[in-house]
């Protein structure tokens, strides 16, 4: 049997305190979430309160006699009544069997509800309507029926004990495909576009656009226009008109269902504001909806009175004192964390503005300097992870637009003269070259690399392709137009 020994080992570990964790979490959230976080803390901590007007916040408490305590109940009102039983201090007017039902709010008619409503106008009996509703339930949000009819027939047989032939399902599906918006219930993009063009042209399958979608869909998607011109012996003008008709169709008819009651718009609240006044840049934090906090003087005075008479306090008073002490510490930590957040954000953004001063003066993207997180970390003396948290999900409002903070960080690249430039400047030049190209003969990645070389930017073809993909621009063949 191995000998068991007790040994003493000393190690140095680095652990974050609760205050540091709180500051880190507050640094990550943007201004719009900070407002909600402060409201949540105000609800959970009774010692925290908002500063009314421009009152000073010295030592985190006002301690003045102006606090509205005359008409309010305080904890002391209850603690002095030691003879009141506990059951009288709580309200329980509901039985365990009572159901608490929330009132639903109507958000308008959804896409699938609209199809169900249109189904009610069709000439189907109860059983057929149930089968059609099951088919509608399998249509996704884009308006496509991704599942084959045989699988749907199997599901109906197993789950609903309904034997339905595939031909009958096809008939019900054709009824649904006549509903609005046009193109729903298709199995793929080709069928979706065909359903729309047939509806638009009155089911005239002889039109050129329908022929292209029916017989030359692959050539159309790959933009092999020469093959289509040769096959149908048509002019480029006729082909262009047919392609324009196809491009007007909707590839996702389900997502086009617009309901003003269910629209959700993303609101961007800038964390920083910068103004250019007489050639001088003025940076400030956007604290319009961020309230100032202080400690509730009533609770602080009450805790002081309990601390003085601690020896003569009852058990309930000692528990109340412990509770208020915990809430007081939590309130102080939270106020400190908010102040430290504001300070960290300001010093970080100040250095970013100094670094990119030429850009903030007129908004010219070509004047952006190459900048990485380490550059700002060295200037501020903060850790790189802190700079990353500050720049995450934060926005700055300038006189020429709103930008995310991560927009200003980019890698560097050297020109043939040894000068360092931002990769964003190169992307801007690529974008301008592609915007000004002849769409009948788009510029290839190799040609773009040569253009950049003429402008003193030594960039390989694969690097050009990477930048082009980051800009969301397709390859030259897919940019071809007639």
Average pLDDT score over residue span 86-109: 52
Look at residue 83 and tell me if it is in a domain.
no
**Cα 365 to Cα 297, 350, 376, 417, distances in angstroms:** 52, 19, 19, 21
Give the number of domains in the chain: 3
Distance CA 272, CA 246 (A): 45
What's the distance, CA 46 to chain centroid?
A: 32
Q: Give the side-chain half-sphere CA count within 13 A for 125.
A: 1
Given 359, 379, 408, the domain boundary residue is 408
Alpha helix (H) ranges present in 216-365? 217-221, 225-232, 236-247, 297-308, 315-355, 357-362
Do the strands 293-295 and 48-50 form a parallel or antiparallel pair, or are they unpaired? Answer: antiparallel
Q: Mean pLDDT throughout 27-46? A: 83
Residues 393 and 426 in one domain: no
Query: How many degrees, rounded to 5, is the angle at CA 389 between CA 386 and CA 393?
Result: 160
- pLDDT digits 0-9 by tens, 315-368: 776 777 777 788 888 888 888 888 888 889 999 999 999 998 888 888 887 788
Q: Taking Cα atoms as reference points, which of 420, 394, 389, 426 lies closest to residue 407?
A: 394
What are the backbone dihedrals phi and psi of residue 198, each rounded to the nearest 5 degrees, phi first? -70, -40
Alpha carbons 176 and 331: distance in angstroms, whole number:
60
Instruction: Provide the pLDDT for residue 111.
Output: 80
pLDDT at 449: 86
State whether 380 and 360 are in the same domain.
yes
pLDDT given for residue 456 in this prediction: 78
pLDDT tier for residue 55 given thresholds of 50, 70 and 90: very low
Q: Are residues 124 and 232 in the same domain?
A: yes
Is the domain of 383 the same as that of 474? Answer: no
pTM for the whole structure: 0.57
Looking at the fold, whether 350 and 229 belong to one and the same domain comes out as no
Whether pLDDT at 77 is above 60: no
C-beta of residue 74 within 8 angstroms of C-beta of residue 47:
no
SS3 148: coil
* Beta bridge partners of residue 400, listed in sequence order: none
Look at residues 364, 383, 408 and tell me which one is the last residue of a structural domain: 408
**CA dihedral defined by 210, 214, 215, 218, rounded to 10 degrees?**
110
Query: Does some domain include residue 474?
Result: yes
Q: For the chain, what is the mean pLDDT?
A: 78
Q: Report if residue 41 sits inside a domain.
A: no
Among 72-86, 166-180, 334-348, where is mean pLDDT lowest? 72-86
pLDDT digits (tens, 9 = 90+) for 7-22: 887 877 666 666 677 7
- Bridge-based pairing state of the strands 395-398 and 272-277: parallel
Contact 162, 131 (CB under 8 A): yes
Domain residues for 361? 272-408
Is 261 a domain residue? no
What is the C-alpha to C-alpha distance for residues 325 and 319, in angstroms, rounded to an integer? 10
Coil, strand, or helix at residue 167? helix
Q: Is the domain of 404 the same as that of 417?
A: no
Residue whose entry in the numeric block shows the structure tokens 């980019």:
410
Residue with tokens 């190169």: 426
Average pLDDT over residues 286-290: 74
- Residues 193-205, mean pLDDT to the nearest whole number: 76
Distance CA 181, CA 114 (A): 10
Task: Say if 89 falls within a structural domain.
Answer: no
Same domain assignment for residues 328 and 446: no
Confidence of residue 202 (pLDDT cuts 50, 70, 90): low
* 376 and 453 assigned to the same domain: no
pLDDT at residue 60, as a whole number: 39
Of the candidate ranges 46-50, 257-261, 282-286, 466-470, the one whose mean pLDDT is the lowest? 257-261
37 domain residue, yes or no: no
If you average pLDDT over residues 375-388, what whole number do you get? 89
Residue 47 belongs to some domain of the structure: no
Q: Is 230 found in the same domain as 155?
A: yes
Tokens of 316: 């309930």
Rg of the chain on CA atoms, in Å: 34
pLDDT for residue 406 is more than 80: yes
Q: How many CB atoms lie within 10 A of CB 262?
A: 13
Q: Are residues 397 and 475 in the same domain?
A: no
Q: Comparing C-alpha atoms, which of 168, 417, 141, 92 is closest to residue 254?
A: 141
pLDDT exceeding 70 applies to what percent of the chain? Answer: 78
> Same domain for 177 and 227?
yes
SS3 at position 422: strand
Q: Where are the alpha helices (DSSP H) in 50-148?
A: 75-79, 111-119, 126-137
Indicate whether 371 and 424 sit together in one domain.
no
Q: Is residue 1 part of a domain?
A: no
What local confidence, expressed as pLDDT, does residue 350 receive? 92
Q: Rounded to the nearest 5 degrees, what angle is found at the Cα of 106, between the Cα atoms of 101 and 112?
A: 115
């Amino acid at each position: 049997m191995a000998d068991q020994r007790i040994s003493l080992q000393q190690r140095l570990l680095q652990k974050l305190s609760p205050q540091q964790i709180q500051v880190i979490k507050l640094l990550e959230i943007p201004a719009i979430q900070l407002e909600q976080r402060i409201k949540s803390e105000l609800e959970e901590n009774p010692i925290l309160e908002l500063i009314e007007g421009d009152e000073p916040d010295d030592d985190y408490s006002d301690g003045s006699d102006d606090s509205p305590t005359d008409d309010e109940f305080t904890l002391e009102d209850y603690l002095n009544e030691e003879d009141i039983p506990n059951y009288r201090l709580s309200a329980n007017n509901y039985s365990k069997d009572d159901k608490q039902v929330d009132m639903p709010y109507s958000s308008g008619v959804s896409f699938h509800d609209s199809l169900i409503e249109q189904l009610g106008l069709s000439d189907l009996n109860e059983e057929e309507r149930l089968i059609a509703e099951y088919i509608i339930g399998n249509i996704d949000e884009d308006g496509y029926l991704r599942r084959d009819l045989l699988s749907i027939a199997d599901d109906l047989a197993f789950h609903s004990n309904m034997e339905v032939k595939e031909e009958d399902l096809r008939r019900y599906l054709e009824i649904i495909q006549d509903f609005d918006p046009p193109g729903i219930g298709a199995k793929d993009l080709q069928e979706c576009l065909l359903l729309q063009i047939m509806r638009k042209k009155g089911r005239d399958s002889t039109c050129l656009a329908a022929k292209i979608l029916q017989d030359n869909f692959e050539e159309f998607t790959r933009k092999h226009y020469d093959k289509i011109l040769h096959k149908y012996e048509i002019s480029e003008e006729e082909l262009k008109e047919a392609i324009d008709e196809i491009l007007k169709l909707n590839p996702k008819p389900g997502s086009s269902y617009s309901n003003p009651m269910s629209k959700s718009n993303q609101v961007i609240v800038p964390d920083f504001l910068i103004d250019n006044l007489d050639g001088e840049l003025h940076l400030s934090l956007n604290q319009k909806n961020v309230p100032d906090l202080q400690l509730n003087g009533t609770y602080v005075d009450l805790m002081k009175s309990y601390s003085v008479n601690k020896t003569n306090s009852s058990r309930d008073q000692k528990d109340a004192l412990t509770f208020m002490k915990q809430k007081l510490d939590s309130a102080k930590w939270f106020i400190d964390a908010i102040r430290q957040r504001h300070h960290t954000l300001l010093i970080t953004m100040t250095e970013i503005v100094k670094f990119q001063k030429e850009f903030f003066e007129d908004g010219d993207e070509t004047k952006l300097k190459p900048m990485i997180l380490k550059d700002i970390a060295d200037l501020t003396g903060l850790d790189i992870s802190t700079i990353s948290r500050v720049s995450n999900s934060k926005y700055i409002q300038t006189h020429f637009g709103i930008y995310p903070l991560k927009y200003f960080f980019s890698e560097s690249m050297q020109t043939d003269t040894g000068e360092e430039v931002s990769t964003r400047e190169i992307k801007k030049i690529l974008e301008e070259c592609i915007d000004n190209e002849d769409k009948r003969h788009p510029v290839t990645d190799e040609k773009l690399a040569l253009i950049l070389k003429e402008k003193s930017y030594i960039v390989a073809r694969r690097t050009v392709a990477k930048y082009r993909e980051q800009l969301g621009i397709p390859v030259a063949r897919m940019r071809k137009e007639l």
